A and B are shown apart, each in its own frame.
Chain A
Amino acid sequence: MSSEEQRRQFELYKKNVARRGKPFYPYAMFHDTVMSLVVVSVIVGLASLWYFTAGEEPGDSGVLGPRYADESDPGTISFTPRPDWYFYFLFYLLRIFKWPESVFLATVGIPTILLIILLLVPFFDRRRERRLARRPVAVVAALLVVASMGVLTYKGATAKESIASENLAKVPEWQATQNLPQDALPGARIFASLTCLNCHSYLGTGGGFAGAPDLSAEGSKGRGIDWQIGHLKDPPAYTPNSPMPSFAGLTDQQLRQLAVFLEASKGPKGGG
């Protein structure tokens, strides 16, 4: 479209507005003022909801999260870093690209390319057409971007991993849900304190990384105590190409307790 044509169309726009347009004040400004009132009320409302439902202690969470987290501890070994929610899509990208050669795609590659495309939108699309029905590329692109960012943000928000110190507190829950016998409890505590749940998942807790299977119903696979102990000592011998490390450093008693726990985990009672 030639720039002469563009200028003529813009002159047309200005003529239309001059003839039929309404003064900004009070027509459009009224809308703006109402909307601004809504925005400020929402901000105040969120702030109040956050403050009054959260407790005074760090980490004491209300409807909108705690008032503050614990003080920073750079030497911690039990914390899961998370960015602010509007960066969840980037956080989840880092989880998707789990091959070392591809890390730069998630960190700088994809975000930079998307930003450049966003910047250059008016230069990709020089058509005068603004009606949505006649801009299929634009509409589809917008829908795809919204959908993908929404899905990535949601997955980032619900991403799970496990912190050993928090898992121990879940053992009574597991016992109740799985109907675990008494002699499975020591193994359950060992299971919670090790980093098993960083890769495996169990009753909704845990990372699900590295292709590690869910262990909630491990006992119903009929593998037996000896298989479990042997597997813990040398995983690749029992599951070829397993990236699971060997737990031969544990004592025999601990291995046996773990095996008992795993064999007793037959899935949530009532089926699951």
Chain B
Amino acid sequence: MARQRKSKRQQQLQALIMAPIDWLEERSGLVGAVKYFLFRRVPAETNWFHTLGSATLTAFLVQLVTGVILAMYYKPDPESAYSSIQTITNDLTLGWLVRGMHRWGASVFIILLFLHMGRVFLFGAYKYPRELNWLIGVILLTLALAEGLTGYLLPWDQTAYWATVVAININANAPIAGPFLGDFLRGGAEIGGDTLARFYSLHMLVIPGGLIGLITLHLYLVIRLGVTEPPWTRAAAGYEFVEDGRGPVRKGLVEPRPRGNGSIGTPVREEVRP
């Protein structure tokens, strides 16, 4: 669509508004990076299935924000942990909402993570050149489950305490390293205040640090390597779209390249749209 030529005044106004952005861009290149991220091309067939990844990220951000707020009122000490949770839930303004969002956000996060992983698997989006992204994703899955495990202990109620007893003993069941691992996680021979402090440190600092770092890498790879089309598209089948010279929108299909990779009986057919 044709834009009208801007008046001199409009141009001056635009320059004024853009000035800070240009200042930032010249000194850092960040604006260009954001523009690249926003306006990069994704396959035309990108559909709702592809929203699962960003939905998982949203759930994680909810956890981050609610977690930081909860950390301002939670006391990681065996004598005060339970009562601090009671205070948060009952007395503090909207404390119940933040705590509830954090607790149910964890479940939503895990569910979306599994759905996202299933989508990636079924779309074959772990194949070349995205293998590294898959590896990072599996590590993210492990970290997310560990985050849930360490967070579960923090309310220090019956369910928290006993679930952690069993979880640590499961780890202690590993051959050779088991006894050391169990005592290391527990911070001693028996579960106590040291265990709570250790799990708090893991839950607040170590695992979120790992999650944030790996999610950044994960997203960088998605932007660099591109979004995979759904497997039912022509493009996924290996067809190439070519201009057939009959206009800007006309496209033709060329037969899929022979792959020699053992795919079962791909019919070879040339198809040219009229």
Contacts and interface: CB of A to CB of B under 8 A. Distances in A.
Interface of A: 1, 3, 5-6, 8-10, 12-25, 27-29, 31-32, 34-36, 38-40, 42-44, 46-48, 50-51, 56, 58, 64, 67-74, 76, 79, 81-87, 90, 94, 103-104, 107-108, 115, 118-119, 121-123, 125-132, 134-135, 138-139, 142, 146
A68 B128 contact: no
A146 B103 CA distance: 24
B261 A127 contact: yes
7 contacts: A42-B108, A50-B104, A70-B157, A83-B152, A87-B167, A119-B135, A130-B228
A202 B38 CA distance: 62
B37 interface: yes
Contacts of A69: 157-160
Contacts of A44: 97, 101
B58 A68 contact: no
Interface in B142-184: 142, 145, 148-149, 152, 155-163, 165-167, 170-171, 173-175
Contact of B240 (A1, A16, A86, A108): A16
A115 B230 CA distance: 26
A23 B38 contact: yes
B127 A23 contact: no
B156 A71 contact: yes
B41 A24 contact: yes
Interface stretch (B3-11, B21-29, B47-55, B67-75): B47-55
A13 B60 CA distance: 31
B72 to A, nearest CB: 18
Contact of A104 (B142, B152, B173, B257): B173
B55 A36 contact: yes
A117 B257 CA distance: 31
Interface stretch (B12-20, B83-91, B197-205, B212-220): B83-91
B262 interface: yes
B66 to A, nearest CB: 9
B152 A84 contact: yes
B118 interface: yes
Contact of A122 (B44, B123, B127, B261): B127
Contacts of A67: 89, 96
A15 B54 contact: no
B76 interface: no
Contact of B104 (A18, A46, A94, A134): A46
Contacts of B238: 9, 12, 128
B105 A121 contact: no
A139 B122 contact: yes
A68 B241 contact: no
A131 B236 contact: yes
Given A5-B259, A22-B41, A135-B124, A123 B131 contact: yes
B148 A86 contact: yes
A115 to B, nearest CB: 7
Contacts of B110: 86
Contact of B156 (A43, A72, A86, A103): A72
B274 interface: no
Contacts of B38: 23-25, 29
A111 to B, nearest CB: 9
B11 to A, nearest CB: 25
B104 A72 contact: no
B235 A86 contact: no
A6 B130 CA distance: 12
